[in-house]
């Protein structure tokens, strides 16, 4: 052998338990983890096909859609984003990207890589878009596609979508929505709101490990994909073939790629747990937990980045870092002392906010109370650390 066996691999793997109350991933339940640790099965085995069929129904339920072309992409949320853009855009097509945090920037970057022309519309960090603003931009740019984020985990801002589908379609524009951080925490109705493409992540409210990205396309979007002049740029995300592997149409299941049976089992259980609780109750639970969190944060004298409550995303709360603390001290104390993850900012909010996530298995009053207790102590610690330094 030219390269010898790495010594670094000879010590045992140690995985500590953590309570993940950042913007995601969130903790999976023991039931989901049990499923993920089951034996590997082949991607063409009947039990895997069955679980995939069940996942499709579960995804239709959480997206509130009857879309035929509904499945889970084998990749992180970013893979869902690229799958939407690579399937709907061809070289030279124009896309309008509504940028409210880092996700819009990424979408614009991806679209340009595919040779599309990406136009941007921006909003302030702590604000969402009005329908009038969006309509004005669509009218001006006449894009083939509008890309927008329902809940921006980098800012904690919630973007209402009702009425936007009608506006888009009036201008012959498709509507694509990122619901990675929002789905299950706020209402979402793909069909009722006339959304043409939507994706989310498995590791947030859906409560399973990262690695699968649920996705769904309206009949209008499906037609656009099947009538493309050029093939989808990425084989791995080509819905005309991937949709067959997931048995969305034609009733054939050709081999496209090797799905991960273990992640399939985990997502199936995550969706089953939501179906058992009921989506309305899931959303209500997240909203009640957010209310409890806001109240507790108020008692601690903390200020939220998003002032107007109706613009706040219940799943990710952005808290302004008080002037008298170093945010890293707070985050470090919470992790070190309680194994509780509270996050700093991301993109436009780096150094400016703490982010607390309430998602899936962690969206309970007990967890809210825990994170408030930990945050209180951590702030006290950071303040005394600062005083000691002065």
Point out the annotated binding site.
355
Smallest separation, CB 341 to a copy of itself (Å): 6
Closest to 176 in 3D by CA, of 148, 157, 151: 148
**Axis crossing angle, helix 365-389 with helix 279-299, rounded to the nearest 10:** 30
Let me know: does 213 contact 33? Beta carbons within 8 Å.
no
Helix then strand then coil, % of the chain, to nearest 5: 45, 15, 40
Smallest separation, CB 164 to a copy of itself (Å): 17
Nearer Cβ to a copy of itself (54/377):
54
Nearer Cβ to a copy of itself (322/347):
347
Nearer Cβ to a copy of itself (11/310):
11
Nearer Cβ to a copy of itself (234/320):
234
Q: Which helix (H) or strand (E) holds 320?
A: strand 316-320
Smallest separation, CB 209 to a copy of itself (Å): 5
User: What CA–CA distances, in Å, run from 361 to 19, 29, 45, 211, 281?
Assistant: 10, 6, 30, 18, 13
Nearer Cβ to a copy of itself (13/390):
13
In angstroms, the CA 146 to CA 137 distance is 10
Smallest separation, CB 110 to a copy of itself (Å): 5
Q: Which residues are annotated as a binding site for substrate?
A: 355
Smallest separation, CB 211 to a copy of itself (Å): 4
Which residue do the tokens 């995550």 mark?
Answer: 270
Is the alpha carbon torsion for 193, 281, 72, 243 positive or negative? negative
E-assigned strands of 61-149? 69-73, 94-99, 117-122, 145-149
In angstroms, the CA 344 to CA 328 distance is 8
Smallest separation, CB 260 to a copy of itself (Å): 4
Nearer Cβ to a copy of itself (173/359):
359
Nearer Cβ to a copy of itself (138/263):
263
Collapsing DSSP states into helix, strand and coil, what is residue 254? Answer: coil
Closest to 104 in 3D by CA, of 136, 137, 73: 137
DSSP state of 304: B
Smallest separation, CB 245 to a copy of itself (Å): 11
């Amino acid at each position: 052998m030219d390269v010898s066996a790495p010594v670094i691999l000879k010590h045992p793997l140690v995985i500590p338990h953590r309570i993940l109350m950042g913007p995601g991933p969130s903790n999976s339940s023991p039931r989901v983890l049990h499923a993920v640790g089951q034996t590997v099965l082949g991607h063409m085995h009947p039990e895997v096909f069955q679980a995939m069929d069940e996942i499709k129904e579960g995804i239709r339920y959480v997206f509130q859609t009857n879309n035929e072309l509904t499945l889970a992409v084998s990749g992180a949320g970013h893979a869902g984003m690229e799958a939407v853009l690579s399937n709907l855009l061809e070289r030279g097509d124009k896309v309008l990207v509504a940028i409210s945090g880092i996700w819009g920037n990424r979408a614009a970057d991806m679209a340009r890589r595919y040779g599309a022309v990406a136009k941007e519309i921006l909003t302030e960090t702590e604000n969402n878009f009005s329908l009038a603003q969006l309509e004005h931009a669509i009218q001006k740019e006449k894009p083939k596609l509008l890309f927008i984020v329902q809940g921006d985990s980098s800012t904690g801002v919630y973007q209402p979508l009702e009425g936007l589908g009608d506006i888009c379609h009036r201008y012959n524009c498709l509507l694509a929505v990122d619901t990675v951080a929002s789905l299950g925490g706020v209402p979402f109705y793909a069909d009722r709101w006339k959304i043409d493409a939507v994706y989310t992540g498995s590791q947030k409210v859906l409560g399973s490990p990262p690695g699968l990205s649920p996705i769904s396309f309206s009949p209008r979007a499906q037609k656009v994909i099947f009538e493309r002049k050029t093939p989808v740029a990425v084989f791995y995300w080509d819905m005309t073939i991937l949709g067959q592997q997931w048995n969305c149409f034609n009733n054939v299941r050709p081999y496209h790629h090797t799905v991960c049976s273990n992640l399939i089992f985990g997502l199936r259980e995550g969706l089953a747990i939501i179906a058992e609780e009921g989506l309305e109750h899931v959303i209500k639970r997240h909203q009640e937990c957010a209310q409890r969190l806001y109240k507790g944060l108020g008692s601690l004298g903390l200020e939220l980045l998003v002032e107007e409550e109706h613009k706040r995303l219940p799943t990710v709360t952005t808290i302004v870092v008080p002037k008298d603390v170093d945010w890293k001290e707070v985050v470090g104390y919470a992790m070190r002392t309680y194994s509780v993850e509270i996050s700093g900012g991301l993109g436009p909010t780096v150094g400016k906010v703490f982010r607390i996530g309430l998602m899936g298995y962690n969206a309970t009053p007990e967890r809210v109370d825990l994170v408030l207790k930990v945050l209180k102590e951590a702030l006290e610690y950071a303040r005394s650390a600062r005083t000691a330094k002065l």
